[in-house]
Structure 1
Amino acid sequence: MNICIIAEGSYPYVTGGVSSWIHSLVTHFPEHEFVIYTIGAHESQRGQFKYTLPPNVVQVKETFLDGFADESKEKARPVRLTAGQKEAFRSLLTGEKNADWEPLFELLRSEQFRTPADFLMSKPFFGAVAELCAEKYSQIPFTEMVWAVRSMILPLFLSVRHDIPQADLYHSVSTGYAGVIGALAKHLYGKPFLLTEHGIYSREREEEIIKADWVKGYFKDMWIEYFYRLSGCAYDYADEVITLFNRNKEIEIELGCDPDKIRIIPNGVNDADYAEVAGPPADGGAPVRLGAIVRIVPIKDIKTMIHSFALVKQQVPEAELYIMGPADEDEEYYNECVQLIESLRVEGIVLTGGVRIKDYLGRMDLILLSSVSEGMPLAVLEAMASAKPVVSTDVGSCRELLYGRDDGIGPAGVVVPVMHYDRMADEIVTLCKNRNLREQMGRNGLERIRKHYTHKGFIESYRKLYASYEGAGQWRASASN
């Protein structure tokens, strides 16, 4: 079977997290051919793969959301929209009712547009923006609204106009633009469409937009609602929605996903792969070493971790913190973290860059995660498989992973509120001073991995899922609508 994996902002340009998940998936299914349809932010990423692709990846289709932005300067041509297209575009902007994506796809892929400018400078576009101002944003200058809506629609316009490779099955690994492409593929070819949602994409975009400087305050709600509508497209078109843990399922239902479509397949790791580094350090835990398996990017909130460690050092002066992960994804944020370390004058923090994690795990006493948003973080699974306790923010599945769901196994760590570096520091200090507690939590984590989160179970669940769609064609897609 030929399967098209649709990824946004991850594989194969970024290591860890969703990228590692995709790489593991395609590597363990040599019986299937995979096409990777990858959506990147910048053309400069083209060909900059961080993974050696397995031989069953037969094509990588690279698309970029800035690829044709300069073409919008060309002179526009006259544009005509059908009544259905006008209403669909209006609903996409206003959110008064669910957007009708079939006429939207026809509109945005119309051959009457040579460039984005043909649509974004057209009378129908200005008319829709004028209606939006009149109905919902009467206090906002029209020109500002035009530019705001253009910046929203341009990436969607660019993404849906690319050719989509034909496949037997389409599998998006997030909502957002990747989810819309999966929905479009189903619309075009009538083939089944699966959606796996690791974190809740629309919630993550909401977090980013609330903090963003590039979005003016009165446009933030508009952007947030827009991303929720993109997610709704994926939920509506998907034949099945796979999520990783129960809380995600509850959120998806709150956001309008049909509960009958949703199934839970948790991620998993092979504990045998970590046997050589499992358990407390051989040197007896002096000094106490804290580790973070993490990309240095804002969503991981490394600054909270640094502030927390500064407080830990006041009570455990011999403690060391190893932040293990690539720093090249957001150089500006990395430099801000370095400056924060210097301004706090905190010693004992080692920024390792990209490393082989197992070379460090064996020396760690405790693993930290300070993210503001997660799905089911591989870093926590790896820590548990290594019998290391974890102090994590209460995001994604971390509470379920560390405390279990009435499984009779004790805690494998502690969760604390997001951005509460003082609370995180208190829990770290408690564990630093109690080796027996650290070791018991480590044993609990390993037991929970073996019982609920094995890599074999993860792969077998997807093997059965893919097998259920072998031979599926137009009839299956039609039956799901």
Structure 2
Amino acid sequence: MRIGLLAEGGYPYLNGDAGLWCDRLVRGLGQHEFDVYALSRSRRQEDEGWVPLPPQVRRVRTGPLWMVEDDGVVLGRRARRRFAEHYDELATALCVPAPDSATPQADRFASALYGLAELARDEGGLPAALRSETAVRALERACRAPGARRAAREARVPELLAVAAQLERALRPLSFDWYEDEGLGAVDLCHAASGGAAALSGLLARHFTGVPLLVTEYGVRLRTHYLTSGADDTAPAVRVLLAAFHGGLAAEVYRQAACVTPGNAHARRWQERCGADRAKLRTVYPGMDAAPFAEVGEAPPHTGNTLTWVGRIEPAKDLISLLHAFAEVRKAEPGTRLRIVGAPAGAEGAAYLTHCQALATHLFPDEAEGRHAVGENPVSFEETDAFPSLAEAYASGAVIVLSSVVEGFPVGLVEAMLCGRATVSTDVGAVVEVIGGTGLVVPPRNPAALAEACVELLRDPERRERLGAAARARALELFTVERNIAAFHGIYLDIVSHSPVRRVVLDDTGEPLPFAVPAEAHVPGRWAGRPAHRTPAWAPGPPVRATPVPAREGAR
């Protein structure tokens, strides 16, 4: 079958989020064809180029989210009135909760969204209209309307301008020409690799051409928006209105998707609370390549007394609690060492690393003396590059520690399990679901409990060995690339088997041939040839490999 893979800031870009997962999926499903529709987040991302693409990728079309692509169309009077009606409806859906007797909130949001999309398809000119004074005045009227949210009523002109600008950016996929019959209309299934803008493109493909939509969220986009929207000094009115928009978009995506695949039960619970139908949810764990960890995982267990932490250094990892816990561990087991392996994430991570190093010096003044070399200091801060491989970093510890206060799917924990290491983790995100009884779990921000669990494993090598072996067996059973690819292959077949054939093929007299495109039409082999008939101009032709295009042409 032919899959339209929708990604935002990810595949096929070199530095994209979730790009590795998408690449493994595409390469593992060589029996299918893929059309990639990629939304880029920055000029730098586009300039750095793409990863090498396998032959089953027929073409790649890109669209920038970091710049506005005006089409030069000036809306006429009738089109301006049409835009005002739809944008008024959208603003009202964001600002005024619908009473029980009125049109449901989800229906108002969806009507406005698809109305704007149809305007963009029929007339063009939507980017300029979304930035116009008409849009700002519509937001102002909605904020001042009876029954408007309290925070919305307090919005002033600067806040309204900020909301209008953010909505224009979020709605840019509406103006792309991806949704015609020769675009996403020619695929059998749209697979959005995330929520948000990528899933919005799938919504529009379903609306215009009836293509079924599959949405995969390893990190729930709405949750991410909630966590990041309060991290700065954004005005309350802006946060509330944007949260209403992203909540409405998530609800519509979950309502229209044929299937939603969360990456773990933690994400699944978020999706259910945001309106996803439980019957549509199928948990599919991220697939990881177990081969790089095989040698360490099958080697004899570590017999030392070293605790190892591996990951990206940032405040969410709570290394402060880990250092205080290690101080208690040293009192119980004086010969124990702690290796912190990883690099800081940005400027905030660099500052946090400096703070952690200073705390280590303060907690162990007689031993530190400004040095951080293994064997001279009980705490060492090391780069991952200092080890021959990532697996060797995990192999350096008898016990692997995870001390996070916020975590989605703990990839580092799975890597430690593949290495056959006993683990001590904090109970956050999907940790309990992943570890499944093969490691010790303690409350977050509790150095005493973390220290007690570490000491317990350090003093019992036989238990460490049993837990490490069980952890590796669990990881190989649930979290491998092969398991992930097999799950999605089955989901693809299930969705397509329940979706009607949409391609209309005509015979020489112009009459439709209802069975002219059989299910095996995309199966390689001599039986895949099509019968002689006349097909529409948009019918799929031979494989076409698109080449990178300038950003301003990416969506065209």
Q: TM-score, normalised by structure 1?
A: 0.82
| Corresponding residue of 1:44 | 44
| 2:399 equivalent to 1:398 | no
Task: Using the TM superposition, give the Cα deviation of residue 231 of structure 1 relative to its aligned residue in structure 2, in angstroms.
Answer: 1.0
| Corresponding residue of 1:154 | 168
Q: Distance in 2 between matches of 1:280 and 1:434?
A: 19
For 1:258-273, list aligned pairs within 5 A. Answer: 258-269=277-288, 271=290
Unaligned 5+ segments in structure 2 are 99-104, 362-378, 504-556
| Corresponding residue of 1:331 | 346
20 and 364 in structure 1: CA distance in 2 versus 1, 3 angstrom threshold: farther
Q: Does the aligned pair in 2 maintain the 1:204–1:373 contact within 8 Å?
A: no
| Corresponding residue of 1:376 | 409
Q: Distance in 2 between matches of 1:7 and 1:272?
A: 27
Q: Distance in 1 between matches of 2:342 and 2:50?
A: 17
Task: Using the TM superposition, give the Cα deviation of residue 474 of structure 1 relative to its aligned residue in structure 2, in angstroms.
Answer: 5.3
Task: Using the TM superposition, give the Cα deviation of residue 348 of structure 1 relative to its aligned residue in structure 2, in angstroms.
Answer: 0.4
For 1:324-363, list aligned pairs within 5 A. Answer: 324=342, 331-346=346-361, 347-352=379-384, 356-363=389-396
Q: Does the aligned pair in 1 maintain the 2:96–2:142 contact within 8 Å?
A: no
Q: Does the aligned pair in 2 maintain the 1:289–1:364 contact within 8 Å?
A: yes
| 2:114 equivalent to 1:105 | yes
| Corresponding residue of 2:127 | 116
Alignment partner for residue 462 of structure 1, among 470, 484, 488? Answer: 488
Query: Equivalent pairs: percent with the same residue?
Result: 24
Q: Which amino acid aligns with 1:285?
A: G
Give per-residue Cα distances to partners, 1:184-214, cap 9 Å, x unaligned: 121122111101121322122211223x114
Q: Distance in 2 between matches of 1:161 and 1:297?
A: 37
Q: Does the aligned pair in 2 maintain the 1:282–1:363 contact within 8 Å?
A: no
| Corresponding residue of 1:81 | 82
40 and 109 in structure 1: CA distance in 2 versus 1, 3 angstrom threshold: farther
Q: Which amino acid aligns with 2:82?
A: L
| Corresponding residue of 1:180 | 200
Task: Using the TM superposition, give the Cα deviation of residue 445 of structure 1 relative to its aligned residue in structure 2, in angstroms.
Answer: 0.9
Give per-residue Cα distances to partners, 1:236-284, cap 9 Å, x unaligned: 2211112233443343222211222122233344656532111677663
For 1:58-97, list aligned pairs within 5 A. Answer: 58-68=58-68, 79-81=80-82, 83=85, 86-94=88-96, 96=98, 97=105
Structure possessing the higher radius of gyration over alpha carbons: 2
39 and 145 in structure 1: CA distance in 2 versus 1, 3 angstrom threshold: same
45 and 422 in structure 1: CA distance in 2 versus 1, 3 angstrom threshold: farther
SS at match of 1:63: strand
| Corresponding residue of 2:210 | 190
Q: Distance in 2 between matches of 1:33 and 1:238?
A: 21
| Corresponding residue of 1:28 | 28
Q: Does the aligned pair in 2 maintain the 1:199–1:373 contact within 8 Å?
A: no
SS at match of 1:46: helix
Q: Which amino acid aligns with 1:412?
A: T
222 and 471 in structure 1: CA distance in 2 versus 1, 3 angstrom threshold: same
SS at match of 1:110: helix
Q: Distance in 1 between matches of 2:262 and 2:152?
A: 40
Task: Using the TM superposition, give the Cα deviation of residue 345 of structure 1 relative to its aligned residue in structure 2, in angstroms.
Answer: 4.3
Unaligned 5+ segments in structure 1 are 405-410
Q: Distance in 2 between matches of 1:476 and 1:448?
A: 42
Q: Which amino acid aligns with 2:226?
A: E
Task: Using the TM superposition, give the Cα deviation of residue 368 of structure 1 relative to its aligned residue in structure 2, in angstroms.
Answer: 3.7
Alignment partner for residue 421 of structure 2, among 372, 388, 400? Answer: 388
SS at match of 1:196: strand
Q: Distance in 2 between matches of 1:259 and 1:30?
A: 31
| Corresponding residue of 1:408 | none
Q: Which amino acid aligns with 1:24?
A: R
Q: Which amino acid aligns with 1:101?
A: A
Q: Does the aligned pair in 2 maintain the 1:244–1:375 contact within 8 Å?
A: no
- Report the aligned-residue RMSD: 3.6
SS at match of 2:119: coil
| Corresponding residue of 1:441 | 467
Task: Using the TM superposition, give the Cα deviation of residue 439 of structure 1 relative to its aligned residue in structure 2, in angstroms.
Answer: 2.4
Question: What is the number of residues matched between the two proteins?
Answer: 460
